Amino acid sequence: MVRESLGQILVTTILSGNFVLAMFLGMCPFLGVTHSVSLAFPLGLATTFVIVIASLSAYAINIVLSLLHLEFLRLICYIVVIAASVQLVEMFVKKQSPALFRALGIYLPLITTNCAVLGVALFQTARDYNFTQSLTFAIGGGIGFTIALVLLASVRERIQLSDVPGVLQGTAMSLMLAGILSLSFMGFAGLGGGA
Protein backbone atom coordinates (compact mmCIF):
# COMPACT_ATOMS: atom_id res chain seq x y z
CA MET A 1 0.00 0.00 0.00
CA VAL A 2 1.32 3.39 -1.02
CA ARG A 3 1.64 5.79 1.88
CA GLU A 4 -0.42 8.91 1.35
CA SER A 5 1.40 12.16 1.96
CA LEU A 6 0.10 14.54 4.63
CA GLY A 7 -0.95 17.12 2.05
CA GLN A 8 -2.96 14.49 0.20
CA ILE A 9 -4.78 13.44 3.35
CA LEU A 10 -5.56 17.03 4.27
CA VAL A 11 -6.92 18.00 0.85
CA THR A 12 -8.87 14.75 0.52
CA THR A 13 -10.59 14.98 3.88
CA ILE A 14 -11.51 18.64 3.46
CA LEU A 15 -12.69 18.55 -0.14
CA SER A 16 -13.09 15.40 -2.20
CA GLY A 17 -13.58 13.04 0.75
CA ASN A 18 -15.52 15.48 2.88
CA PHE A 19 -16.85 13.70 5.98
CA VAL A 20 -20.40 14.94 5.65
CA LEU A 21 -20.90 15.25 1.93
CA ALA A 22 -18.97 12.23 0.72
CA MET A 23 -18.81 9.81 3.64
CA PHE A 24 -22.10 10.62 5.36
CA LEU A 25 -20.59 10.99 8.80
CA GLY A 26 -22.24 13.31 11.29
CA MET A 27 -25.57 13.68 9.57
CA CYS A 28 -27.60 14.44 12.70
CA PRO A 29 -25.99 17.80 13.54
CA PHE A 30 -25.67 18.47 9.81
CA LEU A 31 -29.44 18.39 9.42
CA GLY A 32 -30.31 19.59 12.92
CA VAL A 33 -28.17 22.62 13.72
CA THR A 34 -27.80 24.21 10.32
CA HIS A 35 -30.56 26.79 10.75
CA SER A 36 -28.10 29.63 11.14
CA VAL A 37 -24.42 30.23 10.53
CA SER A 38 -23.92 31.62 14.04
CA LEU A 39 -24.79 28.18 15.45
CA ALA A 40 -23.21 26.03 12.78
CA PHE A 41 -19.74 27.57 13.06
CA PRO A 42 -19.19 27.09 16.82
CA LEU A 43 -20.63 23.59 16.70
CA GLY A 44 -18.24 22.81 13.88
CA LEU A 45 -15.31 24.08 15.95
CA ALA A 46 -16.40 22.13 19.03
CA THR A 47 -16.73 18.98 16.94
CA THR A 48 -13.31 19.58 15.37
CA PHE A 49 -11.80 19.80 18.83
CA VAL A 50 -13.46 16.57 19.93
CA ILE A 51 -12.41 14.85 16.70
CA VAL A 52 -8.75 15.78 17.25
CA ILE A 53 -8.81 14.65 20.90
CA ALA A 54 -10.59 11.44 19.96
CA SER A 55 -8.14 10.75 17.18
CA LEU A 56 -5.10 11.20 19.44
CA SER A 57 -6.59 9.05 22.21
CA ALA A 58 -7.70 6.41 19.74
CA TYR A 59 -4.16 6.22 18.43
CA ALA A 60 -2.78 5.68 21.93
CA ILE A 61 -5.51 3.18 22.86
CA ASN A 62 -4.90 1.19 19.72
CA ILE A 63 -1.21 0.78 20.57
CA VAL A 64 -1.97 -0.37 24.11
CA LEU A 65 -4.72 -2.77 23.04
CA SER A 66 -2.57 -4.24 20.27
CA LEU A 67 0.21 -4.89 22.77
CA LEU A 68 -2.23 -6.69 25.07
CA HIS A 69 -4.00 -8.50 22.18
CA LEU A 70 -7.32 -7.08 23.27
CA GLU A 71 -8.41 -5.66 19.91
CA PHE A 72 -12.04 -6.65 20.51
CA LEU A 73 -12.27 -4.03 23.26
CA ARG A 74 -11.31 -1.29 20.80
CA LEU A 75 -14.83 -0.07 20.08
CA ILE A 76 -15.87 0.17 23.74
CA CYS A 77 -12.68 2.02 24.68
CA TYR A 78 -13.05 4.47 21.80
CA ILE A 79 -16.59 5.38 22.69
CA VAL A 80 -15.78 5.90 26.37
CA VAL A 81 -12.90 8.22 25.54
CA ILE A 82 -15.11 10.18 23.14
CA ALA A 83 -17.82 10.54 25.76
CA ALA A 84 -15.24 11.84 28.23
CA SER A 85 -13.82 14.41 25.82
CA VAL A 86 -17.29 15.64 24.93
CA GLN A 87 -17.89 16.19 28.62
CA LEU A 88 -14.71 18.28 28.69
CA VAL A 89 -15.83 20.45 25.79
CA GLU A 90 -19.24 20.84 27.37
CA MET A 91 -17.73 22.16 30.60
CA PHE A 92 -15.44 24.47 28.65
CA VAL A 93 -18.24 25.98 26.56
CA LYS A 94 -20.49 26.34 29.60
CA LYS A 95 -17.76 28.30 31.39
CA GLN A 96 -16.66 30.41 28.41
CA SER A 97 -19.98 31.24 26.81
CA PRO A 98 -23.22 30.36 28.63
CA ALA A 99 -25.26 31.91 25.81
CA LEU A 100 -23.70 29.64 23.23
CA PHE A 101 -24.14 26.70 25.59
CA ARG A 102 -27.87 27.31 25.76
CA ALA A 103 -28.13 27.85 22.02
CA LEU A 104 -26.41 24.60 21.14
CA GLY A 105 -28.58 22.75 23.64
CA ILE A 106 -28.88 19.01 23.17
CA TYR A 107 -26.57 19.01 20.16
CA LEU A 108 -23.52 19.57 22.34
CA PRO A 109 -23.75 16.31 24.34
CA LEU A 110 -24.93 14.64 21.14
CA ILE A 111 -21.42 15.06 19.71
CA THR A 112 -20.82 11.77 21.53
CA THR A 113 -23.07 9.98 19.06
CA ASN A 114 -21.71 11.98 16.15
CA CYS A 115 -20.53 9.40 13.67
CA ALA A 116 -17.81 11.74 12.46
CA VAL A 117 -15.96 11.48 15.77
CA LEU A 118 -16.13 7.72 16.05
CA GLY A 119 -15.65 7.50 12.29
CA VAL A 120 -12.26 9.24 12.46
CA ALA A 121 -11.10 6.83 15.14
CA LEU A 122 -12.31 3.79 13.21
CA PHE A 123 -11.11 4.88 9.77
CA GLN A 124 -7.64 5.79 10.98
CA THR A 125 -7.37 2.35 12.55
CA ALA A 126 -8.71 0.61 9.46
CA ARG A 127 -6.33 2.52 7.17
CA ASP A 128 -3.35 1.96 9.42
CA TYR A 129 -2.36 5.63 9.64
CA ASN A 130 0.71 6.58 11.67
CA PHE A 131 0.69 9.35 14.25
CA THR A 132 1.11 12.41 12.02
CA GLN A 133 -1.23 10.97 9.40
CA SER A 134 -3.92 10.41 12.04
CA LEU A 135 -3.52 13.94 13.31
CA THR A 136 -3.78 15.41 9.79
CA PHE A 137 -6.77 13.19 9.04
CA ALA A 138 -8.52 14.42 12.19
CA ILE A 139 -7.81 18.11 11.60
CA GLY A 140 -8.79 17.89 7.93
CA GLY A 141 -11.95 16.02 8.83
CA GLY A 142 -12.89 18.63 11.41
CA ILE A 143 -12.30 21.51 9.00
CA GLY A 144 -14.27 19.71 6.30
CA PHE A 145 -17.12 19.11 8.74
CA THR A 146 -17.18 22.79 9.73
CA ILE A 147 -17.13 23.91 6.10
CA ALA A 148 -20.03 21.62 5.19
CA LEU A 149 -22.04 22.79 8.19
CA VAL A 150 -21.45 26.49 7.49
CA LEU A 151 -22.19 26.07 3.77
CA LEU A 152 -25.53 24.36 4.35
CA ALA A 153 -26.44 26.87 7.06
CA SER A 154 -25.72 29.79 4.73
CA VAL A 155 -27.83 28.28 1.97
CA ARG A 156 -30.68 27.59 4.38
CA GLU A 157 -30.55 31.15 5.69
CA ARG A 158 -31.05 32.38 2.13
CA ILE A 159 -33.79 29.82 1.44
CA GLN A 160 -35.81 31.17 4.37
CA LEU A 161 -36.39 34.35 2.42
CA SER A 162 -37.70 32.58 -0.65
CA ASP A 163 -41.01 30.96 -1.34
CA VAL A 164 -40.68 27.18 -0.97
CA PRO A 165 -43.60 24.86 -1.77
CA GLY A 166 -45.20 23.60 1.45
CA VAL A 167 -44.53 19.92 0.95
CA LEU A 168 -40.84 20.50 0.35
CA GLN A 169 -40.20 22.34 3.61
CA GLY A 170 -38.17 20.78 6.41
CA THR A 171 -35.94 17.77 6.09
CA ALA A 172 -36.73 17.06 2.44
CA MET A 173 -35.48 20.53 1.52
CA SER A 174 -32.27 20.17 3.54
CA LEU A 175 -31.58 16.81 1.95
CA MET A 176 -32.03 18.20 -1.56
CA LEU A 177 -29.71 21.11 -0.72
CA ALA A 178 -27.19 18.69 0.77
CA GLY A 179 -27.41 16.62 -2.40
CA ILE A 180 -26.61 19.64 -4.56
CA LEU A 181 -23.72 20.60 -2.24
CA SER A 182 -22.46 17.04 -2.39
CA LEU A 183 -22.70 17.12 -6.17
CA SER A 184 -20.56 20.23 -6.31
CA PHE A 185 -18.02 18.77 -3.89
CA MET A 186 -17.71 15.79 -6.23
CA GLY A 187 -16.10 18.25 -8.62
CA PHE A 188 -13.07 18.14 -6.33
CA ALA A 189 -12.63 14.41 -6.95
CA GLY A 190 -9.11 13.56 -7.94
CA LEU A 191 -7.72 16.62 -6.22
CA GLY A 192 -4.75 15.67 -4.05
CA GLY A 193 -4.57 12.33 -5.80
CA GLY A 194 -6.85 10.67 -3.29
CA ALA A 195 -10.38 9.21 -3.32
Closest separation between CB of residue 29 and other proteins, Å? 10
Closest separation between CB of residue 169 and other proteins, Å? 8
Closest separation between CB of residue 108 and other proteins, Å? 13
Residue among 7 and 70 whose Cβ is closer to other proteins:
70
Residue among 25 and 138 whose Cβ is closer to other proteins:
25
Binder of other proteins out of 79, 100, 150, 159 (CB under 8 A): 79
By CB under 8 A, the residues from 14 to 73 that bind other proteins are 21-28, 31, 72
118 binds other proteins (CB under 8 A): yes
76 binds other proteins (CB under 8 A): yes
Gap between the Cα atoms of 83 and 54, Å rounded? 9
Buried b (16+ CB within 10 A) or exposed e, 167-189: eeeeeebbeebbeebeeebeebe
Of 188, 144, 139, 133, give the one whose Cα is nearest residue 4.
Answer: 133
Of 29, 53, 25, give the one whose Cα is nearest residue 138.
Answer: 53
Gap between the Cα atoms of 26 and 69, Å rounded? 30
155 binds other proteins (CB under 8 A): no
Burial of 74 (0-12, 13-18, 19+ CB in 10 A): middle
Runs of H (alpha helix) within 97-130: 98-104, 115-126
Closest separation between CB of residue 101 and other proteins, Å? 18
175 binds other proteins (CB under 8 A): yes
| Interface residue list for other proteins (CB under 8 A) | 21-28, 31, 72, 75-76, 79-80, 83, 110, 112-115, 117-119, 122-123, 126, 166-168, 170-176, 178-180, 182-183, 186
